[in-house]
Amino acid sequence: MEWRGRRQSQNIEDRRSQSGGGFGRMPGGRVVTGRTGAVGGLGAVAIIVIALFLGIDPSQLLGPGGPMDSGGSYSEPAELTQADKDAGEFVAVTLGDTEEIWTKVFAEQLNRRYTPTTLVLFKDGTQSACGGASEATGPFYCPSDKKVYLDTSFFVTLRDRLGAHGDFAAAYVVAHEVGHHVQDELGILAQANQIRSQVSETESNQISVMIELQADCLSGIWAREAHQTLGTIENGDFEEAVNAARQIGDDTLQRNAGQRPMPHTFTHGTSEQRVRWFQIGLNSGRIDNCNTFEARDL
């Protein structure tokens, strides 16, 4: 993916040099950790696998002897390395691409105006309107403040521990989270989450899978347009995104965590499903083809 020296989005809120990353009481009284290192016995990958992809609150993984500070404590401001700066530029360029592409797609397919999301870069931990954001929670979209939250150290985990290599794999992660903002813009996210709150846990998980697979499909539309409109795609980029989708399927993550896959607990979809819906968006380029909620077969 060609990204160096290109236009960067201005909708970046960079908190990486701010004080933080300790423990703080978040809205609703939940105390969360900003560092996975504070969780006894569980490494960062295990936390990310369980908390991010299996839909478990990371605070549930804090041992009874784990540190808690209801008043909040903060570390010194973080110093950004060159790798941090490069990652920030990469994310800003990728976000800029999503803005250009979704503005075009909304106008052409929906005759609507697209309002971009803001992406918050943080290091170790920060606060969101949806609760605590940390390395353990992984990247996520918060509909309450319409912002994407991302600790770019996740890209290292994605590459080195989850087996998803290449800059386009990282771009796919950004595009997937922006896909949730697209759902929010279309009113899909609010409706789906309202229904989730009224049904059983198993049914709620199934709706969550539909939400996530649709975001994968929308990220496929972004990838197609990046190739056709922006001309920034290099050989092997699509394969990197497909591999990333495959590596973060619920079944693959559960197997890699030493568990037997349990479909009723899936919240993001299997590897095969994630790849399939990314490719549906990639091949069609149409938002109306991403309707996972009415699909006969996910």
Residue ranges of the domains in the chain?
A: 12-294
Assess contact for 26 and 129: CB atoms under 8 A.
no
- The structure tokens 């709706």 sit at 207
pLDDT one-digit tens code per residue, 80-109:
888 888 888 999 999 999 999 999 999 999
**pLDDT value of position 18:** 75
pLDDT one-digit tens code per residue, 32-73:
223 222 222 223 333 444 444 434 333 333 333 332 233 344
**pLDDT value of position 21:** 43
CA-to-CA separations, 239 to 29, 223, 245, 275, in angstroms, rounded: 43, 11, 10, 10
pTM: 0.81
Q: What is the mean pLDDT of residues 260-268?
A: 89
Q: What is the mean pLDDT of residues 197-215?
A: 94
**pLDDT value of position 67:** 29
